[in-house]
Amino acid sequence: MDAIRARIRDVPDFPKKGIVFKDITPVLQDAATFKLVVDALAARWSGERIAKVVGIESRGFIFAAPLAYALGAGLTIVRKPGKLPYERISEAYALEYGQVRLLLRGGARVPERRASPRPGKGPRAREVLRGLALLPPAYLGEVTGSLQFLGTAGARHVVASQARHSGGLVWRAAGATLWVDPGPGALVRALAATPPLDPAQVTALLLTHRHLDHAGDATAAVEAMTGGGFHARGALYAPADALDEEPVVFRYAQRFPRQVVRLRAGGAWKLAEGLTLETPLSHDHGVETYGYRLTFGGFTAAHVVDTFWMDALPDAYAGADLLIVNTTRRSGRSPPPRSSTRTTRHRPCAPSRCSCRLGWRAPTSVPDRW
């Protein structure tokens, strides 16, 4: 990668003052470097059964065409105005140097599977995101859903310092919004997030267990979801001991949701048309605790929440397309190392790379099948 970066030339104050233009023509002019770029892209997506590569005008054309060829995939182009005849759909967005509009020919054929890039920052990243916004859900493949991290903390000493935020996770799929584990500060994190989460639009709240870092704002979230109790709506899913024995959702607020469900091992519930929640087993975590599986559009996501190691875990969460694992521990409850209590302000991270919920002690070994 250093060889590639070395050939990218910076052109300051172009196309206007304050902008540094990244000139890639030296990369293209050198056969070995150009081949290195295409080979690296192809290696990243080989074996993924990619049906279409989308190239966004104009640099996207340069790399998308050879990449599609290398992957044995088709090529779809997203163009600037005035270049596409026939039916087309468009999306406008702003760059530092003005308004831009992208267009996609209507009626594009549907691929078998979608693979999304991971844009970085700046104008080119926005161009990629806007280009993807043009693609209708069917074009993007069989899965339309999202996962947003508002921060899942990790141990109460982390919550106390807010070294990592504790707002929970938000799933959006099948027209529903599921908010998981609203810990301390969850309401503030939800409203300040990008994109913001409107609690009044939440379909269901899920508490995996009653510990502070997972349920500290549970009552506030219920109130926000139901308009302070004036609009009976939504559902609350929680372990029985989080509602009865030591309620983390105050009893008065338990009357507000339209439905209150006590989780159980082996339970399955329909959250919306085409969206199913399952709790395959009870975890070993000192209080009643459940991980979960979400299934929508032929896609399964699983979340292994806090637990000691259990031999039943691999089978319970097997077959998931996306697996999120809160670091498990073999046994014991040793305090965190002194150095781990330092406060380091959490920086927002890409959901696909988020490590907001790593514990301080992981198993020394894990069975191969995990």
* Residues known to be catalytic: 59, 96
In which residue are the tokens 């085409």 written?
A: 274
Residues 6+ positions from 6 with CB-CB distance below 8 Å: none
CB-based contact 11:26 (threshold 8 Å): no
3-class DSSP state of 316: helix
CB-based contact 250:223 (threshold 8 Å): no
Residues 6+ positions from 244 with CB-CB distance below 8 Å: none
For the record, the structure tokens of 118 come out as 């991971």
Which residues share a beta bridge with 296? 275, 299
Distance CA 278, CA 280 (A): 6
Distance CA 217, CA 64 (A): 46
Select from 265, 320, 315 the least CA-distant residue to 298. Answer: 320
CB-based contact 79:101 (threshold 8 Å): no
Which residues share a beta bridge with 23? 9
Report the interhelical angle of 31-45 vs 59-71 (nearest 10°): 60
Residues 6+ positions from 73 with CB-CB distance below 8 Å: 50, 51, 52, 53, 67, 111
User: To 5 degrees, how large is the angle CA 156–CA 161–CA 162?
Assistant: 85
